[in-house]
Amino acid sequence: MDDASKKLEQAGIHCIPVPTPFSIGDVNAYLIEDDPLTLVDSGPASTEALEALEFGLGMLGYSVADLELLLVTHHHVDHLGLTHRIASVSGAEIACLDGLVAYAAAFEANAAADDAFAAELMLLHGVAADTVAVLQHVAALTRKWGTEFSGARALADQDVMTFERRSLRVIHAPGHSSTDTIFLDDESGIVIAGDHLLANVSSNALMSPDRTSVGPDGAFPRRLALVQYVSSLQATRRIDATVVAGGHGPPMSDHRALIDSRLDHHEVRAGAVLAILRQRRRSAHEIAEVMWGRVAVTQAFLTLSEVLGHLDLLKRDGLAEEVSLPDGTREFVAR
């Protein structure tokens, strides 16, 4: 066991790997042995995930029925899918960021609206209609791994949750998703980070509607996901963390070095996007095709999110401009 894992165990925080149907692999649920007995994230809504969670709890001497508090780091299905079922069995209280409370109370409708937004965004930025139709079908199937829950306690940024043997500070860290939340024990320096920071992969800042504002057309505008994410990473870098426990992969002991590498990556990637634009004006999807080839079709939304995020950084710095074409689609030019 590495030092970071030992520190978690010594603090009474136990990682329970839960299988997912996604390429990222297992999601980490964390049992906090304290009063109340707390589970952070739950895994997708599947029998396999529930069995793995029950097994992991059993190895620690507990059952699902023993849980008293459920914390949720963000609204993606591999993190909240089992929340409602666990709460129904155990009677545990659910607590999560205030924006996540509203999202989860109408999960199916909100997730469907996000998928419709993604489809419109792909069409706007050059993805072929037949590709979009296939990805919409896949997205509809993916939504089934998540479920609604209601009656959750709403947490606000910088709230402090008091347990018998520790306190956790709630920090809203948008980027990977709009509801990303990390839980910081200021005394020990342990951070439970969800997908905000992962050891083995750079979290994708996924495009989604900004539900905190309404555009002139009455619709939600696009969230500047990567701009938000960079800002959130910079804030996390300032935390005196001893261990960061991510939602996938092993825990991290040098979060500042990792964050520096992530920020450097985004700077280099933005430079690559700018170099492509300097050749000629292109749509965001055309840029993705130059960078990733066929992957830009099979994973069109992920690659489009990546490119749009770096274009947002370039636009922020005055290095690129978005142009609306007569058919309503968009291209970008270097400045």
Burial class (CB within 10 angstroms; exposed 0-12, middle 13-18, buried 19+) of 54 = middle
The structure's pTM equals 0.95
Per-residue pLDDT reduced to its tens digit, 134-165: 999 999 999 999 999 999 999 999 999 999 99
Give the end-to-end CA distance of the chain in Å, rounded to a whole number: 51
Q: Give the pLDDT score at 220.
A: 85
Residue 227: DSSP 8-state? H
- In the three-class reduction of DSSP (H, G, I as helix; E, B as strand; rest coil), residue 128 is classed as coil
**In what helix (H) or strand (E) does residue 87 lie, and over which residues does it extend?**
helix 83-90
What's the pLDDT score for residue 216? 72
List the one residue out of 174, 178, 170, 175 whose CA is nearest residue 211: 178
- Write b or e for each residue in 62-76: b if 16 or more Cβ atoms lie within 10 A of its Cβ, otherwise e: bebeebebbbbbbbb
Could you tell me the strand order of the sheet in which 13-18 lies? 13-18, 27-32, 38-40, 69-71, 93-97, 153-155
Residue 301 pLDDT = 97
The series of mean pLDDT values per 10 residues for the chain, 335 residues long, is: 92 98 96 98 98 98 98 98 98 97 96 96 97 96 96 98 98 97 97 98 94 76 96 98 98 97 98 98 98 95 97 98 96 97
Q: Rounded CA gap, 332 and 290, in Å? A: 14
Pick the CATH number of 3-106+145-275 from 3.30.300.130, 3.40.630.10, 3.60.15.10, 3.40.50.261: 3.60.15.10
As a whole number of angstroms, the distance between CA 271 and CA 291 comes to: 12
How confident is the model at residue 213, as a pLDDT? 75
- Tell me if 155 sits within 8 A of 100, measured CB to CB: no
Instruction: Please say whether the beta carbons of 100 and 205 come within 8 A.
Output: no
pLDDT at 268: 98
- In degrees rounded to 5, what are phi and psi of residue 52? -65, -40
The most distant pair of C-alpha atoms in the chain lies apart, rounded to whole Å, by 64
Q: What is the pLDDT of residue 219?
A: 78
* Mean of pLDDT over the chain: 96
